[in-house]
Structure formats: C-alpha cells, structure tokens
Structure 1
Amino acid sequence: MTKTQAQIPAQDKRTPGPGRPRSFDEAAALEAAMKVFWQKGFEATSLDDLTKAMGLSRSSFYSAFGCKQSLFLQALEHYSKNGIRNLRKVADTAEDDAVDAMMQALSDPKGGPQGCMLINCITELAPHDEKVAEIGRRHLENIEETFAKVIDPEHPETVRDKASAYSSLAIGTLALRKAGMPAERIANTLKQAKTILSS
C-alpha cells in the first residue's frame, strides 16, 4: 500500500454501485477537481473540498469516481493530456522559434507561484506512489518527444538528449517561479540556457 493510499479515509474507498444515469457533466466535474488538487495538493484536499467544487453529493461522487485516489489519478491524466496537446499546438503555431516558444510555454514566467500540477505532484507523491510516478514519467517523455520532433523532424531519435536538456531547463525554472523569482529573471535564465544549448 502506498503512502497516498494509506492516508485516504476508510469511507473514501467505497466501490461505486449501480444507479441512475449521471445527471452532471463528468468532464466539467473532473476539470473542477483538477483545479482543487492543483491548488491544494493531494494531501490537503478533502472530500468536502472536492464535492463542493464539483457540485456533487457524496453518493454521486462515489458512483462516478470511486474514491479520492482514483479521482486524483484521473485528474492527473486529464492535466497531462491537456498540457501535451497545448504544447504541441504551441510548436505547430510558432511563428519563428518553436523551441523557444515551447520553453516559454512550459516555464510560463508570469504564471505565478502555483507552478505545474504534475511537477508539484511528482515532488509531493511520486517517491511514495508508483502510479503518480508513472504518469509523471510518461508526461515528461511526451514533452521530450515533442521537443525532439521540433529540433529534427526527420530524425527525432538522434536529438533526444538535446530535447531532454531543453525540457529539463524549462521545467526547472518552475522552481524559480514557486520561489517568487521575478518573471524577467526567469525569462533571462531561459534565454541564457537556450544560448548555451544552441552553441
């Protein structure tokens, strides 16, 4: 049993039972839950926090999502899929330097201290929860793959290390954001890092 699972209250592990067709927007409810987890983290988020944000009764919550842990993993997957889709859109629509546009999108210098939900969760939970770690690894691999395809569309596998360096630097600046570093300094850090990698 993982640390995360061990700390879920007993009543939060009920299995969903049969019931009437769902009368709520499951996608919207998942989006709302994701935002709560993103803001508060897994441990600090209570079932009441979730049901209030999602507009659900406890019975509807259990029927649709099973338990807090299950919902959390679904929210992480949802966040990851949206993030990768948006990053690929940035790469496809960049007018000039797609690599720079992707690094800016990942680091989001003006995004404030909230940071990236997945990176936050990797830090908080991955050492104790293999499912979270797996989602995190897959997310990071997808980011690297996107960089590699931009750097060398014909032979992306040959530039995977360079792609990893770009993505790691961009993601690393999230720590500067969470520490309250000014956006201008973060942007300058990215610029300098890209210069080094491009030399």
Structure 2
Amino acid sequence: MSTTLSHNPPADKGTHGPGRPRNFDEAAALEAAMNVFWQKGFEATSLDDLTKAMGLSRSSFYGAFGDKQSLFLRAVQHYSNNGIRTLRQVAQTAGGDAIGAMMEAISDPKGGTKGCLLVNCITELAPHDEKVAELGRRHLESIEEIFAKALNPENPEAVRDKARAYSSLAIGTLALRKAGIPADRIADTLKQARTVLST
C-alpha cells in the first residue's frame, strides 16, 4: 500500500533561538524525508539527500529531528500511520467486497516499482535492527486486524488466521511489483489468491 506525497517543504530560513517556533513546516519536511528513504533506502540515503529534500540546514535538521536513525524511525512510523488509516477507510467504504478492495489497495498493481516502504524496511533492516522489526510487526498486525474485522465483525479473533493469509498474499504481490511484473498479471494473481482462499 502506498501513500501519495504531494507536499513540497518550504526552504528553511535559518535556526531558531530558545523558545522561538520553528520557521518551517515540520510535517511537510517529515514527508519529504519519508519519500527519500522510500526511494533510496536507509543505507543509501545521505544526510545531504535529506537536508536538500527537506529544505533544511544541518543545524535545523539536527534541532528538529536529531540524527538520521531517529528521523528514519519517525518517517516509517508516519508512513505506517497513513497506510493503516487509509486501509481502514477502504474497508469502511468498500461496500460488499471489503476484502477485495483492501487486497487491491495493499498490492496497488499500478503503483510502480518502489513497493511498500514498510516491506522495504523489513527486508533491508529488520534482521539487524529490532526497532525496525518491532515497527514492522505492529504494522502487519494492524493490517491483519482490519482484515479480521472485515471478515467477522462480531468475532475477529476467530478468523485471524484467514485474515493473515489474505493480508500476506496481498503484501506478497509487492515483490512482483518491485520486479516489474505487469499490473494485469498482478491483478490476476490477486484474483487467483482469493479463489484459493475461498475454497
């Protein structure tokens, strides 16, 4: 599942003294950083990449966000919050086929090869970064919970395994996207996955 990034952060006007408000849009700067990490990954992203995209001086960067690792965790959490909120909206407005709508939203067959920032992070960093691993687990568990509630609003825990299967299949198609598999083939894969799980 992807989020659309449309904000362009304003140029930083310099550092601020004690007690003075920051003179840049911190939320927009965070989204800009998120987009850089999403495009390049954590290791390949430099501080210069971040400050340029965010429109900040180094002093303002450190003052607002600390170091690269701290900013990265905030950016990934921001992405997760947006994604989970969007998925809940999809489930609530999908009508009679919430499962299909959510699988489509997560896989986003026409979304290009960037894939999902959370899945990218889990692949790149989770094996040796417990904070990223924990964030990834919470994100995946939240997705499972939304599927479970869509499958059985009265007793979601009774269908948790099936919910995990649906969400895992949808998330798995992100690897196909990153490999450049055509959108129509990914859509066909989703349909076949639902057929298998429905039998």
TM over 0.5: yes
Partner residue, 1:106: 106
Partner residue, 1:10: none
List per-residue Cα deviations over 1:61-91 (Å, max 9, x = no partner): 0000000000000000000000000000000
Provide the secondary structure at the position in 2 that maps to 1:169.
helix
Partner residue, 1:171: 171
Contact residue 18 and residue 63 of structure 1 kept, 8 A:
no
Partner residue, 1:144: 144
List per-residue Cα deviations over 1:128-164 (Å, max 9, x = no partner): 1000000000000000000000000000000000000
The farther-off stretch of 160-169 and 18-27 is: 18-27
Can you give the 5+ residue segments of structure 1 that lack an aligned partner in the other structure? 1-16
Provide the secondary structure at the position in 2 that maps to 1:127.
helix
Letter in 2 for 1:171: I
- Is the counterpart of residue 188 in structure 1 residue 188 in structure 2? yes
Distance 1:87 1:20 in 2: 38
Partner residue, 2:69: 69
List per-residue Cα deviations over 1:32-78 (Å, max 9, x = no partner): 10000000000010001100111110000000000000000000000
Partner residue, 2:13: none
Partner residue, 1:5: none
Partner residue, 2:51: 51
Distance 2:92 2:28 in 1: 27
Partner residue, 2:22: 22
Distance 1:46 1:19 in 2: 30
**TM-score, normalised relative to structure 2:** 0.90
Partner residue, 2:155: 155
CA-CA distance at 1:21 after TM superposition = 2.2
Provide the secondary structure at the position in 1 that maps to 2:176.
helix
